Amino acid sequence: MFKVLIADKLSTEAEKIFTDNGLKVKTKTGLKEDELIQELNDCDALVVRSATKATKKVIEKSKKLKVIGRAGIGVDNIDISSATDYGKVVMNTPFGNSITTAEHAITLILSTARQIPFADKTTHEGKWEKSSIKGTEVTGKNLGIIGCGNIGTIVAKRALGLEFKVSVYDPFLQEEKARELGVKKISLDKLFSQSDFITLHTPLNEKTKNIINKESFLKMKNGVRIINCARGGLVDEIALKENLDNGKVASAALDVFVNEPPTDSKLLGTKNLILTPHLGASTTEAQEKVAIQIAEQICNFLKTGAISNAVNTFSLSAKEYNLVKPYLRLSNLLGSFAGQLTENAIKKIELEFEGQASKVNTQPLLQTLICSLLKPTFDNVNIINAMSVVKDKSIDVTEIKHDRVCEYQSCITLSITTDKQKRSVKGTLFGNKPRIVSIKGIKIEAELLKHNLYISNEDKPGFVSNLSKILADNNINIATFHLGRKDSGGEAVALISTDNFIDNSVIEKIKKLPLVIQAKYITFDD
């Protein structure tokens, strides 16, 4: 009989699902690390929310443990790396709180429109501020949504019901999908300039960090209202405070912060600012949903081997894993590389496996590559749900296998078609180490490190020296430098690995060089 330890408070309905499926359940909350290890001694599964920490020590010592289930999205309390190393599947429930978070955003939108917190506070104080509290109608107003994934889509539908005029900035949203939803897809600058309300529903990454910043506010209407229930760090908090203080922003509402809790934040006490303590997922219904979902997922895994919403693995035998492991690293490299460079909606993904790469189980390679390709844009994507995401986004995926040997013993080629262009990147293995060997048909042989600079430029004298000077002036040490070109004087690419992070200000200087077509900082975990 399989045994499950529920280490954080979970609904009785979830417990019933376990017992109905023949699993033995024990519930013990508030356990310290050593106590948790002791209780897991005879358990096959661990269920947590956010309080219990599944540390490296816990995972290492829990020999019988097969799966860790998180009733919710965030897995910061679980050592994912250790779980992977020790063969423990980690599952979460990424979609269980989407409605709840979207409803909270709508609530804050309406609260900013009518000054609800101030009206409530002053009335409780015995005051009657009716004449000084003037709100604004939302009917007919322009709502700009940054990010139209699962939560953003729900917000859009609710907003349309309130008779907002809804516009969306989302490079990965297909025009057809936008039309079906009833929203207008526009550029970020246009969203800033025409929106009366702006709400954010996008993941936090290098592309979206401080997506609303000092320069953004200059493009906005006077009296704009800002709502963020997505991720702390999407809005420059200092710039927001300045624009609240000077009246550019009529009001704002934040449920998320750069540092949580924001006990030392300069935002505290700011007039016309609503703050809530990360309540996006905090409803009875949402907590019930995620509890039931994780119980069902764990039961299916233990009884049938099925894996749902895994954040660290996919279904493979030990023998298969040893065969595909180096190709998994290569797939991740190619996908991540292309994903960080892609700035427009993807319409088609083509994957070509040649030589030895075509003879292994390519499904995990396909899912790994697509996952890493989409991850810069979709924070809920994982190896398991990657194919569902591309289907939902109406992205066509084509897989081709060739037994033939290319220039190398094995090759994987990723080709991406977007609204504006088609690009490709090819990789191979040198031993078991992944290498990029072609970009846009331009031959280049490079091993990428953690910090990298990608440049597309015109092949003219002076480029390398000008680039090197900028890097040297900013104390950026070059680890490797790889160049390739189509022909003399034509398009060229450079892949440069550095010893340190490259700040965006440096990237902007490189972009201004006369011969540069594109410049991007790219980072990898490995």
Picking from 167, 161, 177, 241, the residue whose alpha carbon sits closest to that of residue 197 is 167
Does one domain contain both 9 and 154? no
What pLDDT shows up at residue 454?
A: 93
Does one domain contain both 255 and 128? yes
Residue 281 included in any domain: no
For residue 311, what are the contacts with CB-CB under 8 A and spacing of at least 6?
Answer: 75, 80, 90, 91, 92, 382
What pLDDT shows up at residue 250?
A: 97
Number of domains in the chain: 4
Of 439, 469, 487, which residue sits at a domain end? 439
Torsions phi, psi of 287, nearest 5?
-65, -35
Rg (CA), the chain: 25
Is there a catalytic annotation at residue 278?
Answer: yes
Of 397, 422, 439, which residue sits at a domain end? 439
For residue 224, what are the contacts with CB-CB under 8 A and spacing of at least 6?
Answer: 195, 196, 197, 198, 248, 249, 250
Is there a catalytic annotation at residue 231?
Answer: yes
Half-sphere exposure of 334 (CA within 13 A, CB side): 38
Spot the catalytic one: 129, 163, 175, 260.
260
Instruction: Provide the 8-state DSSP code for 406.
Output: -
User: Is the separation of the CB atoms in 389 and 378 below 8 Å?
Assistant: yes
What pLDDT shows up at residue 405?
A: 66
Does one domain contain both 124 and 83? no
Does one domain contain both 373 and 334? yes
Does one domain contain both 235 and 138? yes
Residue 334 included in any domain: yes
What pLDDT shows up at residue 112?
A: 97
Is there a catalytic annotation at residue 49?
Answer: no
What pLDDT shows up at residue 74?
A: 76
Does one domain contain both 336 and 384? yes
Spot the catalytic one: 70, 201, 225, 231.
231
Residue 38 included in any domain: yes
Does one domain contain both 75 and 145? no
Range of the domain at 27: 3-94+286-313
User: Is the separation of the CB atoms in 322 and 376 below 8 Å?
Assistant: no
H-state helical runs in 384-434: 386-392
Spot the catalytic one: 114, 158, 278, 482.
278
Question: What angle (nearest 5°) sits at the alpha carbon of residue 205, between those of residues 203 and 109?
Answer: 35
Does one domain contain both 496 and 399? no
Residue 256 included in any domain: yes
Does one domain contain both 109 and 86? no
How far is it, in rounded angstroms, from Cα 282 to Cα 403?
52
Residue 485 included in any domain: yes
What pLDDT shows up at residue 237?
A: 97
Residue 109 included in any domain: yes
How many CB atoms neighbour CB 232 within 10 A?
Answer: 17
For residue 67, what are the contacts with CB-CB under 8 A and spacing of at least 6?
Answer: 44, 45, 46, 88, 89, 90, 91, 298, 301, 302
CA separation, residue 225 to residues 154, 162, 163, 199, 219 (Å): 19, 16, 17, 9, 13
Enumerate residue ranges in the chain where pLDDT < 50. Answer: none
Does one domain contain both 131 and 234? yes
What pLDDT shows up at residue 452?
A: 92
* pLDDT, tens digit (0-9, with 9 covering 90-100), for 291-325: 999 999 999 889 887 788 888 877 665 577 778 88
3-state DSSP assignment of residue 201: coil
3-state DSSP assignment of residue 51: coil
What pLDDT shows up at residue 421?
A: 86
What pLDDT shows up at residue 316?
A: 63
Query: Which CATH number goes with the domain that contains 124?
Result: 3.40.50.720
What pLDDT shows up at residue 376?
A: 87
CA separation, residue 6 to residues 13, 15, 21, 27, 51 (Å): 13, 9, 16, 5, 12
Of 313, 331, 364, which residue sits at a domain end? 313
What pLDDT shows up at residue 317?
A: 55
Residue 280 included in any domain: no
What pLDDT shows up at residue 431?
A: 84
Does one domain contain both 199 and 332? no
Structure tokens that stand for 110 in this block: 């309406």
How far is it, in rounded angstroms, from Cα 357 to Cα 406?
11
Does one domain contain both 379 and 403? yes
Residue 153 included in any domain: yes
CA separation, residue 439 to residues 109, 267, 460, 485, 523 (Å): 45, 45, 19, 10, 17
What pLDDT shows up at residue 189?
A: 97
